[in-house]
Amino acid sequence: MPYGKQIKKEHAYKTIDKDIKGGKLNNLLLFYGKEQYLVNWSINSIVKRYVNESCKALDYTVFEPEKTTVQTIIESCETLSMFSERRVVVLPDFPPLLGGKLKGYTDTEEMEFLKYIKDIPESCIFILTAQNVDKRKKLYKEIEVVGSVYEFGLLDEKQLKGFIAKRFKASDKVIKTSVIDALIESTGYYHKDSDYTIYNLENDIKKMIAHSEGDEVILSDVLVAIAGDLEMNIFAMLDAVSRGRKDEAYRLLYNLLGSGENVYMVLSLIASQFELILEVKELKDEGCDHAQIKNELGVHEFRIKKALGFAGRYSTENLKRILQKLYSVDVSIKTGLLEQNLALELLIAEI
């Protein structure tokens, strides 16, 4: 059995699929990351591969962390399967793995648990799952040494587009690449601090399919299904401004203000977008390619691609002037020199 396996080079859903098909699965696994949809997909794939459907109720166990003990976990893992190739035991969101406390989980139980996971029987696949983990904890470090760790982060742009296209195709729907791009942009999937995941995306795709008429899903179907997050709306407003469509920009601004969005948050996001555009433009002018810009700024490639599109519409001097204006407007609002909504209207007029 392989030890200390850390998945880094490719997305975990691809690696786990290869490991299942190749019979290379460790008997101790940790699945964590934002995309819990793919975590559950992986668990279901393992169960489908190793557990006899007719014995699923006996050979597949999912614990409730707050209602279990180390002893019950050990007993479950040690129980021989009935007619399945291997027994599958899942422990989701185990507090000690997340850095939290668990009632009754004493130092003695922790040592017992750490000792046991080094010797999970070959007849069992023991899976722990979490959205976030505390890598400083003994449990994580031990699993990293004796088990296999799979991190299910965001899909890259190609993978996400493939997921979307596959879902529409399964429903006999056609969707253009440009509409898929608009869909991704509208979800805010790659935006900083966004909590939008594939679970949300799948639900929104179902709404689009239900709303669409005929064989093709069009942009209006996307807009009906997805309200869009604040950062997305800011991006759309700046796109309208950069293309000289001030009427559209004002409409988007009034929609934001009318929905009760905080003026300071709106202003802050406008500033952060232009700061990113300026940074991307300067690095591009220095000869950096897409990958180098991504590594330098630590920003997702999808956002860099969008920023590069904006960067071509402004000179470096103009971007610096806009940022100075933004900082000035912020001071004017905070000192009472300008009324909030008026200040933003004047800002749009001068960008």
Question: Is 281 a residue whose pLDDT tops 90?
Answer: yes
Look at residue 235 and tell me whether its pLDDT is greater than 80.
no
Mean pLDDT of the chain: 88
In 3D space, the residue among 24, 116, 17, 21 whose CA is nearest the CA of residue 72 turns out to be 116
pLDDT for position 9? 66
- Better-scored residue on pLDDT, 259 or 179: 179
Q: For the residues 131-135, what does the mean pLDDT come to?
A: 92
Residue with more model confidence, 186 or 156: 156
For each of the domains in the chain, give its residue range(s) and CATH number, in order of start: 5-151 (3.40.50.300), 157-225 (1.10.8), 230-350 (1.20.272.10)
**d(Cα 89, Cα 215) in Å, to the nearest integer?**
43
Choice between 141 and 295, residue whose per-residue pLDDT is larger? 141
What band does 209 get if pLDDT is binned at 50, 70 and 90? very high
**Which single residue is written with the structure tokens 């004017």?**
332
Phi–psi pair at 270, nearest 5 degrees = -60, -45
Rounded average pLDDT over 38-49 = 97
Output the six-digit token pair for 283.
Answer: 């690095």
Return the structure tokens found at 41.
Answer: 């997909």
Say if residues 257 and 263 touch (Cβ distance below 8 Å).
yes
Instruction: Assign 211 a pLDDT band (cuts: 50, 70, 90).
Output: confident
Write out pLDDT tens, residues 68-118. Answer: 888 999 999 999 998 999 999 999 988 888 877 777 678 888 899 999 999
State the pLDDT at residue 65. 80
Q: How confident is the model at residue 224 (pLDDT cuts 50, 70, 90)?
A: confident
User: How many other C-beta atoms are found inside a 10 Å radius of the C-beta of residue 81?
Assistant: 18
Q: Return the pLDDT at 222.
A: 84
pLDDT exceeds cutoff 50 at 300: yes
- Asked if residues 28 and 143 have their Cβ atoms less than 8 Å apart, the reply is yes
Q: Residue 287 has what DSSP assignment?
A: T
* Distance (Å, whole) CA 298 – CA 4: 27
Confidence at residue 67, expressed as pLDDT on a 0 to 100 scale: 81
**229 confidence band (pLDDT: 50, 70, 90):** low
Q: Which of 48-52, 235-239, 337-341 holds the top average pLDDT? A: 48-52
The end-to-end CA distance of the chain, in Å, is 61
